[in-house]
Amino acid sequence: MKNIASIIFLIINSIAFGQNTTSIDLKELYSQDQFEEIISKYAKEENTYDAEDLYYLAMCYYMRQDDTNCLKYMNQSIAKDNTNPKAFFIKGMTQNYMGDFVKGCKSFQKSIELDPNNGNSYCGLGDSFYNQNKLKKALFAYTTSAGKLNSPDRSYLMIPQVYNDLNQPREALVGYYVAREKIAKESRSYLNCLFNIGLHELLLRDFVKAEIALTELIEIEPNDQETLTKLIQAYYGQKKYEKVKPLKRRLYAAHARYKGKGTLETMFCFDQFEYDGKQVKAYEKFDKPTGQIYYKHVFYILDNKGDIDYSVHTENSPISIELGKAKYILGKTQGNVHSTYQVSFEADFNYEELKLSVQQIMDNKLTATASSSIAH
């Protein structure tokens, strides 16, 4: 009897092993990132696989960013077993990538129904709502995700992003501080948090807190031009002008080596302030052309819509330099009219004096010595 029982046991196990050979092989290859081998060997229409095999086939296409085939095999897997929350999660992710956010919502909701404690599914659901501009539903999903043990970094970053979209900057700032505590310092998301904390503190004019966040960031990425410009603004806001000088040298060196993107390709914003109800943004240009007139520091005065009303600028004058006079004179451009003023500054000017002169022009307390039309 013992021998018969042993034979039956061996038969049962061999049958079970035979049924799961494909799954075991697929698991092993998948764990080794052998996606191409799996696809070439197993992705054949004439083969019939169980739900788990089809899941791994779909995952290979997912890793190859082949959304159509991923969805095809994941649907086949779900048709054979609709109790796997991971299958619905990947289906939702794929639908989001394909821009089908309504269907993505349904897939994530099914994944959550099967596994209510998965923070990744709530994050995916948040993305589906966010891309439909359903911001409050997205915020609820991201916040729920953040309360789960396996919440991804994205949830912590998207909470303040939604608050920004809802025009609630203070709540957004709180969200970034929370994210900074939750996200690993080694990740890029942590750097994102620091930058956004610095940016929001600048907008709220808390220059000390902006300095703290941006200083930590610049220690990690010492040549990041965006961070350097924001830290410069934090120092200007505190009138710590001596601390600006080494940062500007570093910024110019980084620009010479890497150039810049967007506005940073030609200039950088070093100060922002409000005067007489108008927003003023001060920029410094990188180029220093020789033998010709150029604008070095440009103060853009914005209207109520945030558009440029006019600008006040320091103008380099080669003739003035040849005569041994000051390097810069003040000018103003409004529409097609350019004006100059009998106000001059040396290269190492006092910023407070320059700023005061710009404000006097804004108040019409300085009279232009010459004006001319600009040809277009």
Residue range 138-154, pLDDT digits in tens: 999 999 999 998 899 99
Q: For 227-238, what is each residue's pLDDT tens digit?
A: 999 999 999 999
Tell me the residue type at 363.
Answer: D
Query: Which residues lie closer than 8 Å to 65 by C-beta, 6 or more apart?
Result: 97
- Percent of the chain exceeding pLDDT 70 equals 89
- The residue with tokens 């601390």 is 243
pLDDT at 74 over 50: yes
Query: What DSSP letter does each residue of 245-261 carry, written as one string?
Result: HHHHHHHHHHHHHH--S
**For position 24, what pLDDT does the model report?**
62
Supply angle C-alpha 329, 334, 335, rounded to 5.
140
**For position 91, what pLDDT does the model report?**
98
Query: Which residues lie closer than 8 Å to 157 by C-beta, 6 or more apart?
Result: 179, 183, 189, 192, 193
**For position 13, what pLDDT does the model report?**
35
**For position 5, what pLDDT does the model report?**
37
- Percent of the chain exceeding pLDDT 90 equals 74
pLDDT at 252 over 90: yes
Q: For 262-314, what is each residue's pLDDT tens digit?
A: 889 999 999 999 999 999 999 999 987 776 788 999 999 999 999 999 999 99
Instruction: Say what the pTM is.
Output: 0.82
Residue among 223, 228, 269, 264 nearest 245 (CA): 228
| HEC letters along 143-212 | HHHHCCCCCCHHHHHHHHHHHHHCCCHHHHHHHHHHHHHHCCCCCHHHHHHHHHHHHHHHHCCCHHHHHH
Measured between alpha carbons, how far is 74 from 85 in angstroms, rounded to an integer?
12
pLDDT at 214 over 80: yes
Q: Is 127 exposed, middle or buried (0-12, 13-18, 19+ CB in 10 A)?
A: buried
DSSP 87: H
Q: For 310-327, what is each residue's pLDDT tens digit?
A: 999 999 876 666 666 778
pLDDT at 4 over 70: no
**For position 159, what pLDDT does the model report?**
98
Contact 21, 50 (CB under 8 A): no
**For position 7, what pLDDT does the model report?**
31
Phi, psi of 151, rounded to the nearest 5 degrees: -65, 130
Q: For 12-56, what is each residue's pLDDT tens digit?
A: 333 233 344 566 677 777 777 777 777 777 677 656 788 998 998
Q: Which two tokens stand for residue 27?
A: 């698991």
